């Protein structure tokens, strides 16, 4: 069989692959875009878009239950129609996917192949009965939920972040195993929908990459809504119990018995069934494709973008990977992964916005630093909204004034964080923030005030 020749092959129509196809075809290249499942990848189909659509529904239910706090009366108890919530989620997610498919269809010189791609050699890929070849190949194969070999796990039905999107009944009791970002968003969401929720985490605290006081505040927010949280859980095991599922943990503690179990124990890259060995592409011990600072793999002419390269597990890092690759290939702009500043959000309510270093990381670095902090109880906008849980903190270098990091756990924290993040990219000192005039009333307006009140970090 003769191979069909293209200028470029992109494996995976996710948040890096699809826009790269757009740039390459606009530059006159012929592109084969391969997708084995759903166009849009995790973000569009089982990640950001559908889950944040459901988070919005959960917030509406939560706010309705608090109506009396704002002097608003309702004629009866607040109800939740989970099938309607799912239908809304499916509509929003589906519209996004359809939009991408329409965009791809309109790209001149782009051919979309549906199927699983596997390397035959360093420049040849097979998709079903089709053999494709190109001098440039880009991996954007994403990741999936990790399912550890825990005792009894094969004997019980369980959900992952993906299969949760297909759930069409509201769990009476959802047990969430894992205490990080995905798990906590689902935990709060389903509690607000009306489920009983239990979170079981083996680590000593939730969201272990955050500062300890941030983790403690997050746990308090969840517990204030009636979510049972168990940290430091060991010997986690599963078994059927009647029509439910029993999760045992930590000798001496009673098991949690629920109607549904969600496993949220990390992610693994989709690299184990691509035939990377036949191309000579190097992967690390966890299966991530090894790349350099400009996302080139160990094989010339092959790049890896998004979750499969281990350089970030977010839609924004995947899209930034595309920008880096396109800049180097098409714009003579030597952008690098190391240019970017770590930034992300946890979408519980109130959300956590994070950028740069944590306080613990700054202390570990040994540098002299300054810190400023303010609870949301002293932020006018938060008080006015009746949402005063959380706090904000800024860290700066004591000698240079460089902004080192920021955490904003509170209303609008996922948006307000960009006030600091953009200054960090501009390499502006903390004094620039301190002298800024922000709009009142706003959560962000307290950032300059905090920047004026910095004290030595001890």
What the chain holds in terms of domains, given with CATH numbers, is 4-144+268-339 (3.50.50.60), 153-265 (3.50.50.60), 343-456 (3.30.390.30)
Q: How far apart are the C-alpha atoms of 120 and 202, rounded to whole Å?
A: 42
What are the Cα distances from residue 418, in Å, to 66, 72, 413?
Answer: 29, 33, 9
Quote the percentage of the chain above a pLDDT of 90. Answer: 98
Rounded to an integer, what distance in angstroms lies between the CA atom of residue 434 and that of residue 429? 9
Res 94 pLDDT > 90: yes
Mean pLDDT for 156-174 is: 96
Angle between helices 17-26 and 82-105 (to 10 degrees): 20
Residue 323 contacts by C-beta under 8 Å, 6 or more apart in sequence? 335
Cis peptide before 441 (omega within 30 of 0): yes
Work out the number of other CB atoms within 10 angstroms of the CB of residue 456.
9
**Mean pLDDT of the region 291-308:** 98
pLDDT at 216 over 70: yes
pLDDT reported for residue 2:
77
Statement: residue 134 has pLDDT above 70 = yes
Q: Is the pLDDT of residue 236 over 80?
A: yes
| Res 82: pLDDT | 97
- Is residue 252 very low, low, confident or very high in pLDDT (cuts 50, 70, 90)? confident
Q: Name the residue among 161, 162, 132 with its Cα closest to residue 11.
A: 132
Asked whether residue 349 carries a pLDDT value surpassing 80, the answer given is yes
Percentages (nearest 5) of helix, strand, coil residues in the chain:
35, 25, 40
Alpha-helical runs (H) found in 303-374 = 315-330, 359-365
Q: What is the pLDDT of residue 410?
A: 98
- Averaged pLDDT, 367-375: 97
440 in catalytic set: yes
For 436-458, what is each residue's pLDDT tens digit?
Answer: 999 999 999 999 999 999 999 99
pLDDT, mean over the chain:
97
Residue among 62, 316, 418, 440 flagged as catalytic: 440
What is the C-alpha separation between 71 and 68, in angstroms, rounded?
Answer: 5
Mean pLDDT across 113-122: 97
Preceding peptide of 381 cis, ω within 30°: no
Instruction: Report, as an integer, the average pLDDT of 43-54.
Output: 96
**Structure-block tokens of residue 140:** 């954007």
Q: Which two tokens stand for residue 168?
A: 């069409």
Q: Tokens at residue 359, please?
A: 């306080």
Bridge partners, residue 239, by sequence: 246
> What local confidence, expressed as pLDDT, does residue 335 receive?
97
Rama region for 205: left / alpha / beta (φ>0; ψ in -120 to 50; rest): beta
pLDDT confidence of residue 1: 67
What is the pTM (predicted TM-score) of this model? 0.95
What percent of the chain has pLDDT above 70?
A: 100
């Amino acid at each position: 069989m003769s191979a069909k020749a293209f200028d470029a092959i992109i494996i995976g129509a996710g948040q890096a692959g699809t826009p790269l196809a757009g740039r390459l075809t606009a530059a006159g290249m012929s592109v084969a875009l391969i997708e084995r499942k759903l166009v849009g990848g995790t973000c569009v189909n089982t990640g950001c878009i559908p889950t944040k659509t459901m988070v919005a529904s959960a917030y509406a239910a939560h706010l309705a239950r608090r109506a009396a706090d704002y002097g608003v009366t309702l004629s009866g108890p607040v109800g939740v129609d989970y099938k309607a919530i799912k239908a809304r989620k499916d509509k929003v997610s589906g519209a996004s996917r359809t939009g991408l498919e329409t965009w791809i269809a309109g790209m001149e010189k782009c051919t979309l192949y549906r199927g699983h791609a596997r390397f035959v050699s360093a420049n040849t890929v097979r998709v079903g009965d089709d053999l494709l070849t190109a001098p440039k190949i880009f991996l954007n194969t994403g990741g999936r939920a990790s399912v550890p070999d825990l005792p009894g796990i094969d004997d019980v039905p369980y959900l992952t972040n993906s299969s949760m999107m297909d759930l069409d009944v509201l769990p009476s009791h959802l047990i969430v195993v894992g205490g990080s970002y995905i798990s906590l968003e689902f935990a709060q969401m389903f509690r607000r929908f009306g489920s009983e929720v239990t979170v079981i985490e083996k680590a000593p605290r939730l969201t272990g990459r955050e500062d300890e006081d941030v983790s403690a505040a997050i746990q308090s927010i969840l517990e204030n809504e009636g979510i049972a949280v168990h940290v430091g859980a060991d010997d986690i095991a599963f078994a059927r119990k009647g029509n439910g599922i029993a999760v045992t943990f930590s000798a001496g503690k009673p098991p949690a018995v629920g109607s549904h179990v969600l496993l949220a124990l990390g992610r693994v890259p989709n690299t184990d069934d691509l035939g990377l060995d036949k191309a000579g592409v190097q992967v690390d011990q966890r299966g991530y494709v090894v790349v350099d600072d400009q996302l080139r793999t160990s094989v010339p002419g092959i790049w890896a973008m998004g979750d499969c390269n281990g350089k970030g597990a977010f839609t924004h890092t995947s899209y930034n990977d595309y920008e880096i690759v396109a800049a180097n290939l098409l714009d003579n702009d030597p952008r690098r992964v190391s240019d970017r500043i770590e930034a992300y959000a946890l979408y519980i309510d109130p959300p956590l916005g994070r950028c740069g270093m944590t306080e613990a990381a700054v202390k570990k670095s040994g540098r002299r630093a300054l810190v400023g902090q303010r609870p949301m109880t002293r932020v006018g906008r938060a008080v006015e909204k009746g949402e005063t849980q959380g706090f904000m903190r800024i860290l700066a270098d004591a000698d240079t004034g460089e902004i080192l990091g920021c955490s904003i756990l509170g209303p609008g924290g996922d948006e307000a964080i960009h006030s600091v993040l953009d200054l960090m990219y501009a390499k502006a000192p903390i004094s620039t923030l301190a002298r800024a005039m922000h709009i009142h009333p706003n959560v962000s307006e307290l950032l300059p005030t905090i920047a004026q009140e910095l004290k030595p970090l001890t």
